[in-house]
């Protein structure tokens, strides 16, 4: 089983407006467990997150380096909505499994386009079985973006292979006007591609191939 530990935070939202709150601020249609992207008004990424329904609560799993920006983005927008935010990162580790991971007691296991995201209580011992280089090789072969490499605050979702997370017909959200205009004009700019070797503009380099964000 190829499992790699991610540098992730886990936020827990409780309250009846939690899903609607996430839906109103992110690119995908959020009606349950899914992957979505929070963007700024200029459509640049704040973070890509896994939204995981856990009983009456909703967990958001994102990348640690983007946590503060996302918290600021969310925090100022909880007004009269019934949403309570908790940071449960200290209690859980987050892994990605590149192979189907069996159901395991107390391990939250969600299939995503990148692999199986596992949210594991720290009381359950688990370690990576592959290193970052192996994880990156897998990403390169499958053209999968990752936070800090392709998914950065200077890119918008179309740039870095997250087109499928920008819902085509959902209503307004922050950044929607720009993304919709780009899509409707068929002008989504640069995109994530597989390239040979290790070019200077590579965002992730592997043994024989790399990922790069280039103009079409």
Partner 1 sequence: MDCGTCDTAPAIEVIKPEVVDVNLTITEKAIDMLTEAFGDDRSHALLVGVLSGGCSGYMYDLQIVETTDIDCQEIEISGFRVLVPNASSHLLDGIEVDYVDRLMGGGFKINNPNASSSCGCGESFA
- Under 8 Å between Cβ of 181 and 194: no
Piece of 114-122, 131-139, 148-156, 207-215 that binds partner 1 (CB under 8 A) = 114-122
Beta carbon nearer to partner 1, 118 or 211: 118
Site string for partner 1, 26-45 (x = CB under 8 A): ---------------x----
Report the residue from 31, 111, 168, 177 that binds partner 1 according to the rule CB under 8 A.
177
166 sits near partner 1 (criterion: CB under 8 A): no
Cα angle value 11/15/21 (rounded, 5°): 70
Terminal CA-to-CA distance of the chain, rounded, Å? 36
Report the residue from 53, 64, 69, 71 that binds partner 1 according to the rule CB under 8 A.
71
Q: How far apart are CA 39 and CA 47, in angstroms?
A: 7
- Under 8 Å between Cβ of 101 and 116: yes
Beta carbon nearer to partner 1, 106 or 216: 106
122 sits near partner 1 (criterion: CB under 8 A): yes
The dihedral region occupied by 143, where left means phi > 0, alpha psi between -120 and 50, and beta the remainder, is: left
């Amino acid at each position: 089983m190829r499992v790699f530990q991610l540098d992730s935070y886990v936020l827990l939202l409780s309250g009846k407006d939690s899903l609607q709150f996430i839906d109103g601020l992110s690119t995908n249609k959020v009606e349950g467990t899914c992957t979505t992207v929070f963007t700024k008004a200029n459509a640049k990424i704040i973070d890509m997150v896994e939204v995981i329904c856990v009983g009456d609560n909703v967990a958001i799993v994102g990348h640690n380096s983007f946590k503060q920006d996302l918290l600021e983005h969310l925090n100022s927008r909880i007004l009269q909505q019934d949403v309570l935010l908790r940071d449960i990162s200290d209690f859980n580790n987050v892994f990605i499994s590149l192979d189907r991971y069996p159901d395991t007691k107390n391990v939250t296991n969600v299939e995503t386009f990148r692999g199986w995201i596992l949210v594991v209580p720290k009381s359950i011992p688990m370690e990576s079985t592959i290193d970052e280089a192996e994880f990156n090789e897998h990403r390169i072969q499958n053209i999968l973006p990752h936070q800090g490499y392709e998914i950065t605050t200077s890119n918008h979702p179309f740039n870095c292979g997250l087109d499928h997370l920008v819902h085509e017909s959902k209503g307004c959200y922050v950044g929607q006007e720009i993304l919709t205009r780009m899509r409707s004009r068929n002008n989504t700019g640069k995109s994530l591609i597989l390239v040979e070797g290790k070019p200077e503009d590579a965002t992730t380099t592997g043994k024989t191939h790399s990922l790069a964000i280039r103009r079409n």
